[in-house]
Chains A and B, each alone.
Chain A
Amino acid sequence: MKNVPSRSGEWSVLRRMKEIRGKVVRLFYFLLPLLFIAILWELIVYFRIVSPSRTPSPLQICLKLYQLTTPKPILLNNLFESLLRLVLGYMLGALLGILVGILTGISKPFYRAFSPILSLLISVPTLAWVPLLLVTLGTGDETIVFTIFLGGFFPVVYNTMNGIRGIEKQLVWASRIMGADKTTVFFDVFLPGALVSIITGLRLAIGYSWRALVGAEMLAAGISWGVGHMIYAARAFSDVEAMFAGLVIIAVGGILMDRLIMDPIERRTVEKWGMVKER
């Protein structure tokens, strides 16, 4: 019985050690192909198959990353500014997305009214909004945050809605016959029942928000900090290393958010409940 907490301390220590060992092994398998590519790349640059001034080697990029952090923490300042915008835009998108998603999932009239609009808007690339927003909201933070919001909102709405609509009718019936009112059905059946999909939506939204963030930062002229801005500004000096450094930061930032925020939520809920497979 893996869900019955074990009473003996020794066993839990052993299990904990096993868990840690599993994590290390997983990390190793995750890094292995990356390491392989990095070495290959390093060799290609080393033997001058491509020019190091146009395509910097992994070591050059690492060096650049170091230079960007000391003595002045330029990279961190850029990252911090970007993260602030990301958190704000993402939170807005996630909260409103879940709310609208639940409403459209539960209520037929809402679904009828909203789903055509949703299917139209979901195919518009988020960045296509930016020129319009630059005119209406200006060239500053508002535009960037709103773009992030748009990037996160749609995947959350769509997945939440489908999650609610996919809940087995019998689960709702079972609660209704026990006397559950609408509020109880909402909080005790719809919300946990749709959680797998909501988490999927939130996951996708992190990726979309990052993309929206970086893109918008490149196009908004009124800002002076941000990872996207840094990459775009490096163009003026043909500073390819800084561009790559920016790409690395974006990729690592995205994956860290996914693993540090979404993974623990998933493990504590839907994975424990057996609603998704354990990894």
Chain B
Amino acid sequence: MKKVKVRAIDVNKTFGSGKNKVTAISDLNLEVKENEFTVLVGPSGCGKSTFLYLVAGFEKPTSGKILLDGESITKPGPDRGFVFQEFALYPWRTVLGNVMFGLEIGGTPKATAREKAMHYIKMVGLEGFENAYPHTLSGGMKQRVGIARAIAYDPEVLLMDEPFGSLDAQTRKVMQGELMKIWEEMRKTVIFVTHSVIEATYLADRIIVMTARPGKVKGIIDVDLPRPRDYTGKKYLEIRKKALDLLEEEVTKSLKIHPKTN
């Protein structure tokens, strides 16, 4: 039995108050196991990104708590890494500067930081681009920088918020493959948020399907398939269908609840 790394206990999160009150997450309970690749799937607006923000410590739960190694999360910290959908790179730093930033903050000597950062830049396939500024890179390359930056200072948990959501379909597929290679190499605990079941089934050890807003756990699917996975394999398609069926109910529901948001 694997150790539980992140545990959410009766988590509620509401935004606004009075008439404008929106419940993003209600009574969410879930467990993320150490060194596993966990993917959260849910209809848009189901609070899956909000949950990731709570784990990151960017936002605080309205009630309930989230534990990391049994300790309540109160604020952001370098035991976690975050990859944003819109990259959130620093335009005034080069690729190397972005990837080194976390190491610099942690007080790693410059030369060592540089060396380590270069290692991760190579890992994500950006060797030769270390002195380029982000605005000169394509979306896929930007997200490679985003990933390298988030793992360069060796956090224990990697949080990924629809990291390939703003990439085109081709780039997305390539990035999924590369992420798998990187993950096999480092084997960190990953919480990955997406609304794509195809992506979830390709990447995950466990898929957690969430309900429409307010977000709860709808079902958990263990994906016991060897990697790299075949998008057309029989077992793969079976699991994908299972996840899709779970999700479809919720998507229909969310369309009924929030006709305008879709």
User: Are A274's CB and B134's CB within 8 A?
Assistant: yes
Interface residues of B in 38-74 (CB under 8 A from A): 56-58
CB contacts (< 8 Å) of A270 on chain B: these are 92
A224 to B136, CA, bound (A): 54
CB contacts (< 8 Å) of A174 on chain B: these are 82, 84, 88, 90, 149
Known: A170-B86, A179-B106, A273-B91. A1 touches B132 (CB 8 A): yes
Interface residues of B in 127-148 (CB under 8 A from A): 129, 131-136
User: Are A272's CB and B88's CB within 8 A?
Assistant: no
CB contacts (< 8 Å) of B57 on chain A: these are 176-177
CB contacts (< 8 Å) of A179 on chain B: these are 77-78, 102, 105-106, 153
**Of A3, A178, A188, the contact of B132 (CB 8 Å cutoff):** A3
CB contacts (< 8 Å) of B105 on chain A: these are 175, 178-180, 184
Q: How far is the CB of A168 from chain B (nearest CB, A)?
A: 7
A195 to B153, CA, bound (A): 27
User: Are B133's CB and A272's CB within 8 A?
Assistant: yes
CB contacts (< 8 Å) of B75 on chain A: these are 176
Known: A179-B78, A269-B92. A173 touches B56 (CB 8 A): yes
User: Are A192's CB and B78's CB within 8 A?
Assistant: no
Q: How far is the CB of B75 from chain A (nearest CB, A)?
A: 8
User: Are A170's CB and B88's CB within 8 A?
Assistant: yes
Q: How far is the CB of A5 from chain B (nearest CB, A)?
A: 8
Which DSSP category, helix, strand, loop or mixed, fits chain B's interface? Answer: loop
CB contacts (< 8 Å) of A189 on chain B: these are 90
B37 within 8 A of A: no
Interface residues of A in 242-274 (CB under 8 A from B): 269-270, 272-274
Interface residues of A in 182-198 (CB under 8 A from B): 184, 188-189, 192-193, 195
User: Are B84's CB and A170's CB within 8 A?
Assistant: yes
B215 within 8 A of A: no
User: Are A273's CB and B92's CB within 8 A?
Assistant: yes
User: Are A273's CB and B78's CB within 8 A?
Assistant: no
B213 within 8 A of A: no
Q: How far is the CB of B101 from chain A (nearest CB, A)?
A: 6
A38 within 8 A of B: no
A170 to B81, CA, bound (A): 13
Q: Name the residue on B nearest A195 (C-beta).
A: B92
A272 to B57, CA, bound (A): 33
A192 to B98, CA, bound (A): 14
B76 within 8 A of A: yes
Best-buried of A3, A179, A188, A272 by chain B (most CB within 10 Å): A179
Q: Name the residue on A nearest B59 (C-beta).
A: A173
CB contacts (< 8 Å) of B77 on chain A: these are 177, 179
B80 within 8 A of A: yes
A273 to B97, CA, bound (A): 12
CB contacts (< 8 Å) of B78 on chain A: these are 177-179
CB contacts (< 8 Å) of A180 on chain B: these are 105
A37 within 8 A of B: no
CB contacts (< 8 Å) of A273 on chain B: these are 91-92, 133, 135
User: Are B92's CB and A192's CB within 8 A?
Assistant: yes
User: Are B102's CB and A1's CB within 8 A?
Assistant: no
A173 to B85, CA, bound (A): 13
User: Are A274's CB and B84's CB within 8 A?
Assistant: no
A50 within 8 A of B: no
CB contacts (< 8 Å) of B129 on chain A: these are 1
Mask of A149-173 contacts with B, CB within 8 angstroms, 1/0: 0000000000000000000101101
> A-contacting residues of B (Cβ < 8 Å)?
56-58, 75-78, 80-82, 84, 86, 88, 90-92, 94, 101-102, 105-106, 129, 131-136, 149, 153
A and B contact pairs by CB, cutoff 8 A, 19 listed: A3-B131, A4-B131, A4-B132, A5-B131, A170-B84, A171-B88, A171-B90, A173-B88, A174-B84, A174-B90, A175-B105, A177-B58, A177-B81, A178-B153, A269-B92, A273-B133, A274-B136, A275-B91, A275-B92
> B-contacting residues of A (Cβ < 8 Å)?
1-5, 168, 170-171, 173-180, 184, 188-189, 192-193, 195, 269-270, 272-275
User: Which 9 A-B pairs rank lowest in CB-CB distance, beginning with the nearest?
Assistant: A274-B135, A178-B102, A179-B78, A170-B88, A177-B76, A176-B76, A192-B92, A273-B91, A273-B92
